Structure 1
């Protein structure tokens, strides 16, 4: 059955190729960083918890060594018309593949249908790009490696923070937060629970830098016990709107360095928080809308 095995294989091949290109260019720290990522995708299940822990420590040591080099800037070129269409291939494939693959449970793991469709969409877009633009065979990999070198260690921050959220959930942080929030919400108040959940998702995301890290905590604290079990909310709606509220927090925090700080550095903005300031006018009204939407779908 096709599932995460395909996703991990494609990601592993890409990072392995980046590691080889880095070694050819004598970017040894970059090559080691990408090689470790490739190893995690190829053999993460085989090396066990201890091996993965050592691998993460090696990634951190490499990232903080100060030896990782930024990518070489590429000469500006005229925009190509087909590029916009190629960019749309990926979301179209993700949507269409998700709807199709859920009807093929014997072939595609239905729980991973979206990730499989997204991966196939990337491969299709890459193949079309090489065909339409007559690009060299490794042009896509080189461009991806250059972008990774520009972003640096922050490229894997979402995964690290999501892992932190899982650790917090296993440690019972959600139960503690739920006890504190439950005592502050008026009995029987759906609006109060919706405000606590939406605002909590945004605030935890601001602190952790990633909505995926905040979700396990707030789902265990408010989402499941109050909004779903007590007030009968649809779990899918509670999860989806909660994540959107968390993403509002992503727009407001420097902890989301890969989204808000790295772009400011790459664009050489005078204000390193310029991206956050520009996004605040969108994030705050959108957070309010998500809270009201959650209250409306449950009441």
Structure 2
């Protein structure tokens, strides 16, 4: 309880930790439910993965770092051995979906909108923050859905959350792992290595060439990392700062547009699991690259437009 009573820790951080605890318990529930599921072809491996993940998310702050490491190693073993499977799927029938749509209609988008609204409102409150706002928005959305239908009881939310996690599987960990990888790359000096390599290619003082390399580098590195936020720290250190900003380019324009250049890479990579793998799993698409194939052309058009935009407003 020392963490929650510490006056030096903001209320937003404390609220976020409570949200993490709920998330961890949800993962543990997923593991236990699959362990008891007779239709799951690998109940033990599935339970180990989700339960270990849940323990780290919910209680990792209070577990020694070495113990967290051991739990994570245990967690990845069934994933490597492909022993994390999906069991019985209790998805709503088409009749239920049609009935709910006729009853609720377009109001179904209000709960989703609440997540964004809460994130924006909380972002304007320094002691809370946008990330906590997203969590609060999810809770508010659940309350709204409960008002929509008396059938939306806590067990419904639990089972639907389990169904989503089980459908995505270990790939749900990819965004977190890639974000951590970005921090590791930065600490390891990968940006300095990139700067040394690029310095032999970009003519000194040519801001336009620097912008082109920075933008394309952001797109390609995001495809590797799967996360533009992870890529921009490394690419800004390696290319943006020494070859673009150092020669007088507007940091506001370059910083914002470079990030959206990274999003062009997000559209083209399976590493961006939450964008390109989750829809495939949720829609049960036969072509696992179907989402990406439909996004490549818009991504290429966008990267060209953004390069021109940066050069024009630099």
Q: Does 1:116 align with 2:132?
A: yes
TM-score (norm 2): 0.82
The one of 109, 133, 137 equivalent to 1:84 is 109
- The one-character-per-residue Cα deviations of 1:175-234 (angstroms, maximum 9, x if unpaired) are 010122123222222211111111001111222332233222201102233333442532
Gaps of 5+ in 1: 103-107
TM-score (norm 1): 0.86
Q: Is the 8 A contact 2:186 2:234 kept in 1?
A: yes
Q: Is the 8 A contact 1:33 1:62 kept in 2?
A: yes
What is the deviation of 1:120?
1.3
Q: Is the 8 A contact 1:11 1:38 kept in 2?
A: no
Gaps of 5+ in 2: 1-9, 37-42
Structure-2 residue corresponding to 1:203? 220
Structure-1 residue corresponding to 2:48? 32
Structure-2 residue corresponding to 1:144? 161
Q: Does 1:174 align with 2:199?
A: no
The change in CA–CA distance for 1:130 and 1:163 in structure 2 (over 3 A counts) is: same
Q: Does 1:98 align with 2:123?
A: yes
Structure-2 residue corresponding to 1:253? 269
Q: When the two structures are aligned, how many residues end up with a matched partner?
A: 288
Structure-2 residue corresponding to 1:290? 306
What is the deviation of 1:3?
2.6
SS in 2 for 1:66: coil
Q: Is the 8 A contact 1:30 1:69 kept in 2?
A: yes
The change in CA–CA distance for 1:212 and 1:51 in structure 2 (over 3 A counts) is: farther
Q: Counterparts of 2:64 and 2:214 in 1: how far apart (Å)?
A: 35
The change in CA–CA distance for 1:151 and 1:24 in structure 2 (over 3 A counts) is: closer
Q: Is the 8 A contact 2:222 2:266 kept in 1?
A: yes
- The one-character-per-residue Cα deviations of 1:79-106 (angstroms, maximum 9, x if unpaired) are 232311111111112112322x13xxxx
What is the deviation of 1:253?
1.8
